[in-house]
């Protein structure tokens, strides 16, 4: 039995015909498939593939399922996009401007704690890892496991970045710190950090090693409207 995808489904957020067609094309390119190869993989003719991808015409809903499977996606991902997409999916604003933040504004943006990204040298390339962080005065501290990627020695060059995006307003900011690592060994200081809000690692597990990033430079930028 043939059925048409309903109008509500076509007009739902992320589920418009153009959005679905764009997702099909992008995923096809990511998989390195030609249009004919994708059609063969989905067990349909190229013309039927175009009809299903554009949500036009009457077609068996099973065709949408076959297309999603051929693209290594779920039907919901194909129709509506990922439920947890990376930030920055919305189109850029028409009249945005990029401005530098002062040092004080950078620290204001970081607040008291959050999740950021630690940058350090790897064996063959730079390594970026997410970390929960606390702001302590004019420094950033984080906790990790001995022997982990982030468990660098005292004096090791480090970079740290945190940011925020407001998709609805097309605004955002980023703050970058560069400096060196310092191990925190004072038990009282470590206890103080452990008791603070935001100190519990999202990744869980025992992370007894506290490291402070002593910043040599802090810079930031903000995207805003005039």
Q: pLDDT tier at 216 (50, 70, 90 boundaries)?
A: very high
Output the CA–CA distances (angstroms, integers) from residue 86 to 35, 82, 89, 114, 115, in the order listed: 27, 9, 7, 17, 15
Which range among 45-59, 86-100, 182-196 has the greatest average pLDDT?
182-196
Residue-level pLDDT at 179: 97
Residue 205 CB burial class (10 angstroms; 0-12, 13-18, ≥19) = exposed
Q: Among 29-33, 50-54, 64-68, whose mean pLDDT is lowest? A: 50-54
- Segment 67-71 long-range contacts (CB within 8 Å, at least 24 positions apart): 67/24, 67/42, 69/42, 70/38, 70/41, 70/42, 71/24, 71/27, 71/28, 71/31, 71/38
Instruction: Indicate the fold that domain 97-224 takes in CATH.
Output: Pnp Oxidase; Chain A (2.30.110)
Tokens of 112: 């008291």
Short-list 110, 117, 3, CA closest to 55: 3
Say which CATH class 7-80 falls into.
mainly alpha
Residue-level pLDDT at 11: 35
The pLDDT of residue 34 is above 60: yes
Per cent of the chain over pLDDT 90 is 50
- Range list for CATH 2.30.110.10 in the chain: 97-224
- pTM, rounded to two decimals: 0.67
- Range list for CATH 1.10.260.40 in the chain: 7-80
């Amino acid at each position: 039995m043939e059925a048409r995808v309903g109008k509500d489904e076509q007009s739902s957020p992320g589920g418009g015909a153009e959005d679905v067609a764009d997702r099909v094309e992008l995923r096809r390119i990511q998989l390195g498939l030609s249009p004919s190869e994708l059609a063969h993989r989905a067990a349909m003719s190229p013309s039927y593939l175009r009809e299903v991808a554009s949500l036009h015409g009457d077609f068996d809903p099973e065709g949408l399922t076959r297309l999603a499977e051929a693209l290594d996606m779920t039907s919901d991902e194909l129709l509506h996009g990922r439920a947890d997409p990376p930030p920055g999916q919305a189109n850029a604003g028409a009249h945005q401007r990029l401005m530098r933040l002062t040092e004080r504004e950078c620290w204001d943006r970081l607040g008291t704690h959050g999740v950021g990204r630690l940058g350090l040298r790897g064996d063959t390339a730079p390594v970026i890892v997410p970390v929960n962080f606390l702001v302590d005065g004019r420094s950033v501290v984080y906790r990790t496991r001995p022997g982990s990627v982030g468990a660098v020695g005292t004096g090791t060059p480090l970079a740290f970045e945190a940011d925020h995006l407001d998709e609805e307003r097309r605004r955002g900011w980023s703050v970058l710190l560069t400096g060196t690592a310092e191990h925190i060994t004072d038990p009282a200081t470590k206890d103080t950090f452990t008791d603070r809000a935001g100190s519990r690692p999202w990744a869980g597990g025992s992370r007894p090693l506290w490291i402070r990033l002593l910043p040599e430079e802090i810079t930031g930028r903000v995207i805003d409207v005039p």
